[in-house]
Structure 1
């Protein structure tokens, strides 16, 4: 691709639980696909969408220097792709920037395996209910898809051929119960929840320290939890009479 100035690589298989069922497919897509793309490049800037799940879980906010310890085939495949693009940059073939995305939401996502998407769909009546494993206190870091798009622009402007950088992209820590409360407040509807036993090994907290990206000038503007939920509700185009409460 000689006429391409930069590539933002978003394509991936990205369901954690599914990756345990078919790990080879996840490596084939997430590592093999990245390798094939890099083979087509020479002298361009390359931005990889990775994941905050590459880190070893910690009660403290995670920095880019935190230990990587993937706990799923999905996360392991993304960590391998990260290494691949970093080595390609070190060789001078490309410039690489990896953005470790935490929980992206708010743009009309249709994947109801994700907590905000599922909860909003339940409130809209388009799915029958929601299963929560554990007591709902598990905390994740959420960020609006608009703010993620801005992060890619900021990171791309700082990327140079022959260099390799990593940035966390996260903004708003919230528990599952916080999400359920926000959905009820925005939609005026309670979410029908079936409480299930906690999944062994489920990570209790995964929060991002995005100071490094903020130092480049990134400022999230749409990632308050209620705003993420509201935009998902509006983008889901509920039937008449199901609009958000004011």
Structure 2
């Protein structure tokens, strides 16, 4: 398949392009700047979600799209919701419009998020949980999922939404540079690129971490499985209960040094968020083969320190 990857220049985008190429597909990197396209891309298309003409040109001749381009910071979405609605919903609508202006249906896989569920009491979370986002980021992703489902129902495409929990690690030396996320921030502290880790509460909050390589493989399986006229949602997480303290302990083991932390008062956030990923395992045969915590941290650390020299 010839597959367009929006947001190909990003952390997850690099991994998805690599996974598609490894599987024998032809990934086309959709980027704002051609110099940022992953080296495994078979071709590059320059444009943006806000430019409908560039999207129509980019989807011409492709069999599917992995739609990753988005704004994805929860706290930022609270202070700048308009930008999130403009990009995550408006940009997705532009893409859907381009995909419906074709003679043959395409496959569409959207990078969605567990944030669409909000903070349900029942854990782990399955795909039947109510959609109840608690921030603009989650709300915009839920809206994009619904828009794709509505268009798929017309028969003009087949769509799958992959609802990720916490993606980390590295593929092909490309690590996550977003220090608003826990694992990139911990590794940056360990590499001397950040002063300390602010830790809310006692560190016993539990989260679900999935290796970016496993997430990328989910995109490959999903783009191959889309059926015109249908939309499906899948949770993608390891299902492993990992506390913040577990991350700190593993980081110290991987890097050989204690993590500098600053203890803050507890924040108003859920104590547990875990994925029930049985649907994608049963229906698509996906497995979290690389999502051991030490593997996630080791791959992230090796990628980071190959770029920056860690202090002794």
Q: Write the distance in 2 (CA, Å) between the matches of 1:197 and 1:225.
A: 26
The 1:60/1:240 distance shift into structure 2, 3 A limit, reads: closer
Contact 2:65 2:223 (C-alpha < 8 Å) held by counterparts: no
| Structure 1 match to 2:70 | 12
* Equivalent residue for 1:212, pick from 270, 274, 279: 279
What is the rounded CA distance, in whole Å, between the counterparts of 2:296 and 2:127 in structure 1?
A: 25
Q: How many residues align?
A: 241
Among candidates 266, 286, 291, match of residue 198 of structure 1 = 266
1:35-114 → structure 2 map (5 Å cutoff) = 35-42=93-100, 43-57=105-119, 58-107=121-170, 108-114=175-181
Question: Which of 125, 128, 135 is the matching residue for 2:202?
Answer: 135
| Higher RCO, 1 vs 2 (CA within 8 Å, ≥6 residues apart) | 1
- Residue 241 of structure 2: SS of its match in structure 1? strand
Do the aligned residues in 2 keep the contact of 1:60 with 1:207 (CA within 8 Å)? yes
- For the 8 Å contact 2:118–2:138, the answer to whether it is kept is no
**2:309 pairs with 233, 239, 245, which one?**
239
In the alignment, is the contact (CA less than 8 A) between 1:116 and 1:229 conserved in 2? yes
CA pair 235-73 structure 1, distance change in 2 beyond 3 A? same
2:85 to 24, 27, 30: 27
- List 4+ stretches of structure 1 deviating above 4 A: none
SS at match of 2:242: strand
5+ residue gaps, structure 1, are none
| 1:90-123 deviations in Å (ceiling 9; x for gaps) | 1112111000011000011111111011111111
Deviation at 1:136, TM superposition (A): 1.0
TM-score, scaled to structure 1? 0.95
SS of 2:127's equivalent in the other structure is: coil
**So what's the TM-score if we normalise by structure 2?**
0.75
Of residues 215-224 and 26-35 in structure 1, the stretch that sits farther from structure 2 once superposed is: 215-224
Q: Deviation at 1:59?
A: 4.7
Residue pair 1:106, 1:232 contacting (<8 A) in 2 also: yes
Distance 1:52 1:109 in 2: 19
Cα displacement (A) at 1:233: 0.4
**SS at structure 2 position matched to 1:143:** strand
